[in-house]
Amino acid sequence: MSCNSTPAEPPGSLLPDVSSNASASQPSPLSTPLRISLAIVMMVMMVVGFLGNTVVCIIVYQRPAMRSAINLLLATLAFSDIMLSLCCMPFTAITLVTVRWHFGDHFCRLSATLYWFFVLEGVAVLLIISVDRFLIIVQRQDKLNPRRAKGIIAASWLLSFCISLPSLTGWTLVEVPARAPQCVLAYTELPAERAYVVTLVAAVFFVPFAVMLCSYMCILNTVRKSAVRVHNRSDSLDLRQLRLRARPRRRPQLSVDLSFKTKAFTTILILFVGFSLCWLPHSVYSLLSVFSRSFYYSSSFYATSTCVLWLSYLKSVFNPIVYCWRIKKFREACLELLPHTLQILPKVPERIQRRIQPSTVYVCNENQSAV
């Protein structure tokens, strides 16, 4: 099955007669100012996503101390977002402005395959991170080391390639943009093609969403129980100190570990929420495009496609913003990579920086200071 350049009756249809209204209806592109504005915003998203995710990869590559299992996974997620920004977003922006695909039928299918390939890899990494957080916090099993992480990453790339490859070999119908600013899954009635699309969408969103949601619910339940246990222990220590009038109480080590794990978990949870908001509309849109003739041949399909695709690309920009917001080392690395002419505040020399370990209890009195 080859790509089509017109919105005519798809070759995969089992119905010999197509209503003239459905086949003759043409997509209604957005107004020119709106299309140009969206294309400019998409190019800004591409630059921000490329630079932000590149910083993540540079940090992990240049600093051996940063090559932990979780950081390797985050670097892989950043790399998949970089490739998505470079291989798909520029062509979508150009097509959005010109309302015409200028790159040929074969590249249309290739771009659609690359789109699903890099999206699948990013989702697979988020799924691995979520399961790893579940094992650490709920099961108390920290089994993911850098060596195992590299093996799992290689397996995820291979699996993502195998799932996305059928769209390149012609297993499903991909239409050259006339109805959308990017090569999208077209309407078909062949059972095999529909089955592949269901498998693809399930692998991209619904199965990972279900697994991650279950993992996070279990994690939240465990964190809640741990918080209650720490609170009860803290109350018992307060009562004991009031009775014995001993030294100022030390905070339980469990609360320190819980705070650290909760902070890391909160960052991953925010990434999960961003993934859900960006990809739920696209998943529903893809299923409707393949299964609903009235939706695919409607006059509003172009506008719907533009909004949904724009939202899906927003995920590649969302991750670096979360890193900059939540991870202090990421902000410091961004400042280090900036040219000196762009740095507003001078960098504090490392030898005079205060180094305080949060887990250490500092005891000071009038005569001495000790740790």
Predicted pLDDT of residue 263: 64
pLDDT string in tens for the chain (371-residue length)? 445 444 444 433 333 333 333 334 555 577 888 888 888 998 999 998 898 899 889 888 887 777 888 889 999 999 999 999 899 999 988 888 888 888 888 888 888 899 999 999 999 999 999 999 898 888 888 888 889 999 999 999 999 999 998 888 766 667 766 778 888 888 888 898 899 999 999 999 999 999 999 999 998 888 788 777 665 665 555 556 555 554 555 544 444 444 555 566 788 888 889 999 999 999 999 999 999 999 988 888 888 888 898 899 988 888 888 888 888 877 877 777 766 545 554 554 444 444 444 444 444 444 443 33
Please state the separation of Cα 186 from the chain's center in Å: 25
User: Global pTM?
Assistant: 0.76
- Tokens 């998949």, residue located: 80
- The mean pLDDT of the chain is 77
Structural domains in the chain, sorted by start: 26-334 (1.20.1070.10)
Q: Compute how many other C-beta atoms are within 10 angstroms of the C-beta atom of residue 86.
A: 14
Look at residue 326 in the predicted model and tell me its pLDDT: 82
CA separation (Å) from 256 to 65, 251, 252?
Answer: 22, 8, 7
C-alpha to C-alpha distances, 157 to 30, 52, 118, 119, 271, nearest whole angstrom: 36, 22, 9, 11, 20
